[in-house]
Amino acid sequence: MTSPEVTAKRADAPGGETILEVRDLVKHFPLTQGIVFHRQVGAVQAVDGVSFDLHRGETLGIVGESGCGKSTIAKMLVNLERPTAGGIRYKGEDITRLSGRALRAVRRNIQMVFQDPYTSLNPRMTVGDIVGEPYDIHPEVAPKGSRRARVQELLDVVGLNPEHINRYPHQFSGGQRQRIGIARGLALRPEVIVADEPVSALDVSVQAQVVNLLERLQDEFHLSYIFIAHDLSVVRHISDRVAVMYLGRIVESGTDTAIYEHATHPYTQALLSAVPVPDPEARETRGRILLAGDVPSPADPPSGCRFRTRCWKAQPVCAEKDPALDVPPWFREAEGAVAHPSACHFAAEWEDEERRRGSA
Ligand SMILES: Nc1ncnc2c1ncn2[C@@H]1O[C@H](COP(=O)(O)OP(=O)(O)O)[C@@H](O)[C@H]1O
Ligand code: SF4
Ligand SMILES: [Mg+2]
pLDDT at 360: 41
Q: What is the mean pLDDT of residues 63-71?
A: 94
Helices (H), the chain: 70-77, 100-109, 127-132, 134-137, 147-157, 174-186, 204-221, 232-236, 256-261, 266-273, 280-285, 316-320, 350-359
Q: How far is the CA of 93 from the centre of ligand 2 (A)?
A: 36
- Helix H or strand E encompassing 254: strand 249-255
Mean pLDDT of the residues in the chain: 88
Q: How far is the CA of 70 from the centre of ligand 1 (A)?
A: 8
Ligand 1 atom with the shortest distance to the CA of 66 = 23
Q: Over the stretch 315-344, which tens digit does the pLDDT of each residue have?
A: 999 999 999 999 999 999 988 899 999 999
In 10 A of CB 121, how many CB atoms? 22
pLDDT at 5: 40
Q: What is the mean pLDDT of residues 188-203?
A: 94
At residue 117, does pLDDT exceed 80?
Answer: no
Q: Which of 28, 63, 72 to mutate to test the pocket of ligand 1 (most atoms within 8 A of CB)?
A: 72
At residue 310, does pLDDT exceed 60?
Answer: yes
Q: Is 328 in the pocket of ligand 2 (CB under 6 A)?
A: no
Q: How far is the CA of 196 from the centre of ligand 3 (A)?
A: 7
Q: Are 35 and 201 in contact (CB under 8 A)?
A: no
Q: Rounded to an integer, what distance in angstroms lies between the CA atom of residue 194 and that of residue 60?
A: 10
Contacts of 239 (CB under 8 A, 6+ apart): 59, 60, 61, 227, 256
Q: How far is the CA of 93 from the centre of ligand 1 (A)?
A: 27
Q: Over the stretch 199-229, which tens digit does the pLDDT of each residue have?
A: 998 988 899 999 999 999 999 999 999 999 9
Q: Is 90 in the pocket of ligand 2 (CB under 6 A)?
A: no
Q: Which of 265, 315, 322, 344 to mutate to test the pocket of ligand 2 (most atoms within 8 A of CB)?
A: 344
Q: What is the mean pLDDT of residues 267-282?
A: 73
At residue 3, does pLDDT exceed 60?
Answer: no
Q: What is the dihedral of CA 58, 249, 264, 208, to 10 degrees?
A: -40
Q: Is 75 in the pocket of ligand 1 (CB under 6 A)?
A: no
Of 64, 73, 27, 87, residue with least CA distance to 251: 64
Q: Is 297 in the pocket of ligand 1 (CB under 6 A)?
A: no
Query: Which residue's CA lies nearest to atom 1 of ligand 2?
Result: 344
Q: Over the stretch 228-263, which tens digit does the pLDDT of each residue have?
A: 999 898 898 899 999 999 999 999 999 999 999 999
Q: Is 246 in the pocket of ligand 2 (CB under 6 A)?
A: no
At residue 313, does pLDDT exceed 50?
Answer: yes
Asked if the 18-359 domain carries CATH number 3.40.50.300, the reply is: yes
Ligand 2 atom with the shortest distance to the CA of 315 = 2
What is each CA distance from 72 to 26, 84, 293, 330, 355, in whole angstroms? 10, 11, 24, 34, 39
DSSP class of residue 233 equals H
Q: Is 344 in the pocket of ligand 2 (CB under 6 A)?
A: yes
Q: Where are the domains of the chain?
A: 18-359
With DSSP H G I counted as helix, E B as strand and the rest as coil, what are the percentages for the chain, rounded to 5? 35, 20, 45
